[in-house]
Structure formats: structure tokens, C-alpha cells
Homo-oligomer: A and B are copies of this chain.
Amino acid sequence: MDGALTHLDAAGNARMVDVSDKSETSRWARARAVVRMSPDAAARVAAGDAPKGDVATVARIAAIQAAKRTDELIPLAHSLPLTHVEPTVTVDVEQGTVTLVAEARVAARTGVEMEAMVACSIGALAVYDMVKGIEPGVVIERIELLDKTGGKSDFHR
């Protein structure tokens, strides 16, 4: 692991990275968040969601809307004019999980990891919001980047 955090300058001050001299490339990223609950609660989500009902739709809309506002939420993030955000929601009743995967695309001077991470995180929080009334102990158990391409180096988990 080389060097210091890219978001700190030589004096240790947090900073927005200057991307003025980079050129626009096609960027893509995909991230995932898993919400863990009892199989019972997951069954309610699935029921409230069958065949393609409101719980998943609310989570997906929340994810898309949040992705578009990543620059307002993450202090050092740049404003990116996303060309695509695609969240998907999967319920596994037996395992007691609701999984959000979000893809983001843009032609930009910097990556879209944060947009994908914010999208699936807020989608997961929207699921939590709808489930907390019946099970307040529900946990978002993992949020992680799955892939990113188009920058200096790709990443695939």
C-alpha cells in the first residue's frame, strides 16, 4: 500500500481531488448491500412485494434518487451527470435477506463507485425503514463494491 490518503493534502487537510486535467472516460461501478432479518420478516417483504409490489419499488426509487445526490451527501465527491443507475432488489425468504445491487454509469473524469455505494446503501435503509416496525433489530450486514471499470485500475471482488 503506497502513499497517504488521496483525500488529504500534504498538511493533512481533507480536500476534493482535482480532476481538471483528467479526460472523460466511460465509467461503471456496481455495489451491493445486504439487509438481514428473520425469515418471517423477509416473508412479509416478499408478500408485500408480490408479484412486483411496493417494497422493492420504494427501495429502488430511493436508491436512484440518492445516487443522483451523491455529491450532496459525500463531502469530497464530485458532481457526476449519471447516464444510468440500475438498482435491483432480491428477497431470499429462507435466508432472511433482502439484497440490493446497484449499477451506475457515467462518462466522467472520475469514478462512480460512490454513486453505486450510496444507491445500494440508501435502498437498504429504505427497506430497513419499512421493516423496522415489525422487527427493529434488522441489520444491514454488508455494503461493498463489487466492480468498477473505466479508471486507472479496474476492481472486481
- Give me the interface of A with B, judged by CB distance under 8 Å: 1-8, 11-20, 26, 38, 40-41, 44-45, 47-48, 51-58, 60-62, 64-66, 68-69, 71-86, 105-107, 109, 113-114, 117-118, 121-122, 124-126, 128-137, 139-145, 148, 155, 157
Taken together, the copies of this chain in the complex come to 6
In the bound assembly, the distance between CA atoms of A134 and B86 in angstroms comes to 22
Task: Determine the residue in chain B with the shortest Cβ distance to A7.
Answer: B130
B84–A5 touching, CB < 8 Å: no
| A interface secondary structure, majority | mixed
B5–A48 touching, CB < 8 Å: yes
A130–chain B nearest beta-carbon distance, Å:
4
Task: Determine the residue in chain B with the shortest Cβ distance to A84.
Answer: B18
Q: Which residues of B contact A64 (CB under 8 A)?
A: 16, 75-76
A137–B157 touching, CB < 8 Å: yes
In the bound assembly, the distance between CA atoms of A58 and B41 in angstroms comes to 24
B5–A130 touching, CB < 8 Å: yes
A30–chain B nearest beta-carbon distance, Å:
12
B137–A145 touching, CB < 8 Å: yes
Would you mind naming 19 contact pairs between A and B with Cβ atoms under 8 Å apart? A1-B40, A7-B133, A12-B53, A13-B54, A14-B55, A14-B57, A14-B58, A18-B84, A57-B57, A68-B72, A74-B122, A76-B129, A79-B82, A80-B81, A83-B109, A114-B125, A117-B128, A124-B143, A136-B145
